Amino acid sequence: MVDPTGPRWFFANLVQVKLSQAATGGAMSIVELVGPTGDMPPLHLHRTDDEAWYVLEGEMSFYVGNEQPIRVSAGGLVFGPTGVPHTYRVESSTPARWLALCTPGDFERFVVAASHPADRAELPPPQGPPTEEQIAAITTLAAQHHIELLGPPGTLPV
């Protein structure tokens, strides 16, 4: 089931829900993301979701727990279990495109809540650093979706 709202802007990413949690009876969700070179979300963990990332285009590094960084290109798959801190960075000189497969899929609901419909199906315009109010709001929203933010972008798991 494709997201009926179409492409969305989720921070620096273009996203689209490919399979909603509702469509699977709460079993899983799949979200397609496109991120620019250097894109790196805050270090975080999911309290309820296992997450796997399947890279479709580009090259990315994944930081999962205290493991060594895992660098993958198109066709690569990385797994992040529930409760384990993780983040990623887009390494390629062009945008990367990947799928986030989550069980039971609450991440999809967070993505929809934290994003807005894209004006066009391309990456959003560059944004400056978030304000303290924006950080507080996203931290609260993430917590409502069982996601704990552990540090700003650039923070790696210890």
Find all residues with CB under 8 Å of 69, minimum gap 6, and list them. 61, 62, 63
pLDDT at 2: 46
For the segment 129-148, the average pLDDT, to the nearest whole number, is 93
Q: What pTM does this model have?
A: 0.94
pLDDT tens figures, 19-46: 999 999 999 999 999 999 999 999 999 9
% of residues, the chain, pLDDT over 70? 97
The class level of CATH for 8-153 reads: mainly beta
For the segment 2-10, the average pLDDT, to the nearest whole number, is 76
Residue 4 banded pLDDT, cuts 50, 70, 90: low
For the segment 135-145, the average pLDDT, to the nearest whole number, is 95
Find all residues with CB under 8 Å of 56, minimum gap 6, and list them. 32, 74, 97, 98, 99
Q: Where are the domains of the chain?
A: 8-153
pLDDT tens figures, 78-111: 999 999 999 999 999 999 999 999 999 999 999 9
pLDDT at 129: 84
- Tell me: pLDDT of 57 over 70: yes
Place of tokens 């805050």: 42
